[in-house]
Every structure is written in C-alpha cells, then in structure tokens.
Chains A and B, each alone.
Chain A
Amino acid sequence: MIELKSVTKRFGSETAVDAISLTVNRGELCALVGTSGCGKSTTLRMINRLIEHDGGEIHIDGRPIREFDGRVLRRRIGYAIQSTGLFPHWSVARNIGLVPRLLKWPAARVNERVEELMALLGLPIEQFADKYPAQLSGGQAQRVGVARALAADPDILLMDEPFGALDPITREGLQVELHDLQARLQKTIVFVTHDMDEALALADRLVVMKAGRIVQQGSPLELLRAPADDFVASLLGGDDRGLKEAAITPVVERMRPLSPRLLPQARVAREATLHQALAVMFRERVERLAVVDDDDMPVGEISLRGIVGVARAEGRDR
C-alpha cells in the first residue's frame, strides 16, 4: 500500500507537486493523468526516492520511505519509463536480469526468471536474448523495459508512460497482460499515461492532476459520470465521455436473456464492451445483437435501446 499525505515538491521557486494526498491500496492500479508538466513524473519519482519530497509524508506498507535506504527501496519497486533507459552496452537478457543480479540471486535463478519474463512479454528468447537495445524497435525496447521492471517480482510497480511507443495492438495486448498480472499477483501499480483510453481501461483509481494538484480522483466511472469541473470533463474526452463510458462497460451488464424472437444474425462476444457492441450495430445497420460465448453459442441478446436506456437508468441508480 502506498500513502501520500500532503506531499509537496519544489524546484527552486516553482512548486511542481503541491500538497497532494493519495492512497493506493494493495492490488490497485492507480492511473495519473493530466496535462504536460503537471507533476505526474515528479510524483512517481518521489515514491521511489529518485527525488526527495520536501513536505508531507510518503508511506509504503505503513512505513515512511525515509526509513529505507534509497537503493534497497528502489530494488523493491519496479520502475519503467517511456525512454526505457535500457543500457545500450548490455544485451536484452542482461538488461532484464539487472535487479535480480543486484539482489544477488544465483545465476541460474536469474536466467530462469529472464526467460520467464521474455516469454511473458512476447520476446522469443532465441531471437532477442542476445540483441542489443539499438537493434530493437521502439515497441520491443519498451517491452524489455517493462520486463526489467518486473524482473525481481516487486510488489509495487511505478510506470511512467511505459507503453508510449507501441502500436495499438501490442499496446492492448500489454494492457491486458498488465491487468491480468495485477489481478493475479496483487501488484500495487502507479501508472502515468497520456492515453485516456488506456487510463480508463486499466485504472481502479483515476487521479486527475493539474498544476501540481489533484483536481479529482475516483473510479473511472465516477469521474466519467460526474467530472468535478470543465477541465476534468474535457481531459476525459468532452462529449466523447459517453462513448468512453461505453468502452469500459462490459456487454454482460446490459445483456438480456434470449427472447422468443428471431435471433439476430449480427453477434458480439460476451467479453466485449458496450462500445464494441455499438460499433457492430453501426457497421451492420441493426439495433439488436446476439451475445455469444467463446464457442460462438448465443447466451443472450442486447439491443440499442437496452444499451442507451438501461445505461441511463442504471447510471443514476449507482
């Protein structure tokens, strides 16, 4: 668990982070969003003491971080950055094994772990283990960066735009991977991104920052439905907010049992989002879809009126 209590950071006369308070519980993914220069990276770097905070307190698992030795703290916390910061004179495998080696793991265990992570992040070992960072594409390098951050199996992960240079498909794949990882292993993650869809899809807690302060925090749905001010509303997509809400609501929430009526030809997967269901309706020019399971067997149906009307009603109820 990470707790920030009115944490402040000044650079000279400029206040980069201004008395922010934030709690990220174990197993939670917290996404920091906001315009450029609002203090997201500074907040992240204060948590692993790359930057010392000037005011307030930061606690990890109930202990003030100033009680830890900086290096020991950082080896316990995974850190991935957009520029990757891979060491250009080290091979991919050596880069990934950095923190385990710093922690003096036996060589065999380090190798095993490196292979495990390369497999996890879709980097075939024969192809990539001996490559150097300069020989990687931007996306491959970012995956290596994430693998390095995960290497020593840290409880806490700090990620500063880690998927910035990825194509949408790889990006989505990694987002799913990260989501599973966090659900399975109960990692505590603080994640900085400029991609609002990514933030909405991944975050348990969404934190909107502006000029060093937190403007609003809460679950993605809370923020989408009740943005605190125009800034939050426009950051979350302005009029697109409705569609973004649809993008994080699963079809099963609006699905109805199969009716005696003729089953529609057009179909959508049970795991899909309302956004995807709407897209299929739009493309197929229909107002009803069959909802199917993994084996393509119909398990229910969903209608345009259902999506819109029910969504409204339920939204109010919550």
Chain B
Amino acid sequence: MISRCLKRWAVPLAWLVLLLALATGGEWLEPLLRWSEPEARRVLYPQADLLTLLLRHLQVVAIASSLAVVIGVGAAILVTRPAGRDFLPLVAQVASMGQTFPPVAVLALAVPVLGFGTWPIIVALLLYGLLPIVRNTLAGLEGLDPGVEEAARGMGMGAAQRLWQVELPLAAPVILAGIRTSVTVNIATAALGATVGASNLGAPIIAGIVNGNTAYILQGALLIGLLALTVDSFFARLLSGRQ
C-alpha cells in the first residue's frame, strides 16, 4: 500500500527532493555556477536565505491563488445560476482583461496604494491568476451533460443539492486544471514581486542583475523552475488520480 502510494507520487516527490536539495545546500552546484561566473567573489547565494525565500515565495503564491480560487470559482458559480446569468459576459470579460493586463503594470499601479512589500505582488498575482480559473469553472459548469441536469432537476434535487452533489463534482477535473494553470503561471510571475521589495525567489535574480552575477540569476531561475515543476506534477497526479 505504502509502496504503491510512493510509486504513484514518485515524480512529484523527486522534484520536491531536488528542489529542497538546491534550496538547502547547493554546494554541489558550485562548479557549474563557478563556470558561469568565473570572476565573481561569491557564486553561491547565501543558502540560509534561499529556504526562507522559497517559503515566502510559496506563501505569496498560496495566498494569491487561494483568493483567486475563492473569487474565481465563486464568481463563475454565481453567473451560471439563473439569478446571475445576466452577468456572465461581464465576468468572462473582466477575467480575460485581468490576464491581458501585464503584472508589471499592476505592480506599478499597486505600489503607490499599497506601499512596497508583499501586498502589491499578491494583488497582481490574484488578478493574473483569475482568468484560467474563471474560464475553466465556466467551461466545466456549462459543459455538463444536459441529460444529467434534467435528471437532477427531474428527480427533485434543489439548486444547492445539484451544485454540491452533481455540478461541482462533475466539473471538478476541468476546474482543477484551471487552478493548476493559474498556480503554475503565478509561481513564475511571483518573482516580479522582488522588484517592489517582496522577498521571494525573485530576490537572487534581482541581486544577480544588480551585481552582474549570472550565478545568482541561475540559482533563482532554477529554484523557481523546480518549484513550478514540483507543484505542477503534484497537480498532474491529483488530476489523473481522479479519472
């Protein structure tokens, strides 16, 4: 049982181990990094910081994505109810605008209001991550078999019973796929937060750019990439496990 479970989750776990190895003791990377930056005084970003930065990065993405899920799924549910149907085009439009609006611009606009730090990037990620969630939730709820909906109503299920027992469970794979896209993209985008003072995995990259140290940039980029891969493969397992 345990071994089967381990086997199922082997790929995401492998990525996780690699990620933690890099974040906690990347000395083994030093030759590679040294090769990319032979002149620099240091090529290893202070390791103690990396783990903290990784956790902060995750935290920001988790907060932004949780908000995006609650708002996005909630909005999509509301506009697919008879009472909210009039707002369906509006919500679909706002969500797609959220994605066309560049996160950098959101950051620039948010800083004067929210100040430097973590909040501007959370707002930017929230807006940026809404579209895939709203779009997929709408697609999932609208794409249900009309026969199933007719039967659910015809058997005398109420609106809430239909939503929780039929519509959401059946739309779940599509909704989860949207959340997966949103989270993965946001892990990469969150690095931008470092430009407005949020401390996360964008920090080594910014430090690398400022000091002209390619090795720092590489470490930041590698960690972000690995984090995205780890989370994405967890989602992949979750989704395929449901089928």
Residue ranges of A at the interface with B (Cβ–Cβ < 8 Å): 48, 50, 70-76, 79, 81, 83-89, 98-99, 102, 145, 148
Contacts and interface: CB of A to CB of B under 8 A. Distances in A.
B130 to A, nearest CB: 27
Nearest to B161: A102
A75 B166 CA distance: 17
> Which of A71, A73, A85 is packed against the most chain B CB atoms within 10 Å?
A85
Contacts of A79: 151, 154-155
Contacts of B39: none
Chain B residues touching A, majority SS: helix
Contact of B151 (A72, A73, A81, A89): A81
B206 interface: no
Given A85-B145, A89-B170, A72 B150 contact: no
Interface of B: 145-158, 161, 166, 169-170
A81 B148 contact: no
Contacts of A85: 145, 147-152, 154
A190 to B, nearest CB: 13
Given A89-B169, A89-B170, A84 B156 contact: no
Contacts, number: 61
Given A88-B170, A89-B169, A74 B156 contact: yes
A84 B151 contact: yes
Contacts of A72: 156
B157 A71 contact: yes
Contact of A71 (B150, B151, B158, B166): B158
Given A87-B148, A88-B148, A81 B169 contact: no
A83 B150 CA distance: 10
11 contacts: A74-B154, A81-B147, A81-B151, A83-B147, A85-B149, A85-B152, A86-B148, A89-B169, A89-B170, A99-B156, A102-B161
Nearest to A73: B156
Contact of B155 (A83, A88, A99): A99
A74 B155 CA distance: 6
B155 A50 contact: no
A99 B155 CA distance: 6
B158 A48 contact: no
A87 B152 contact: yes
A144 B11 CA distance: 40
A75 B158 CA distance: 11
B19 to A, nearest CB: 34
A145 B154 CA distance: 12
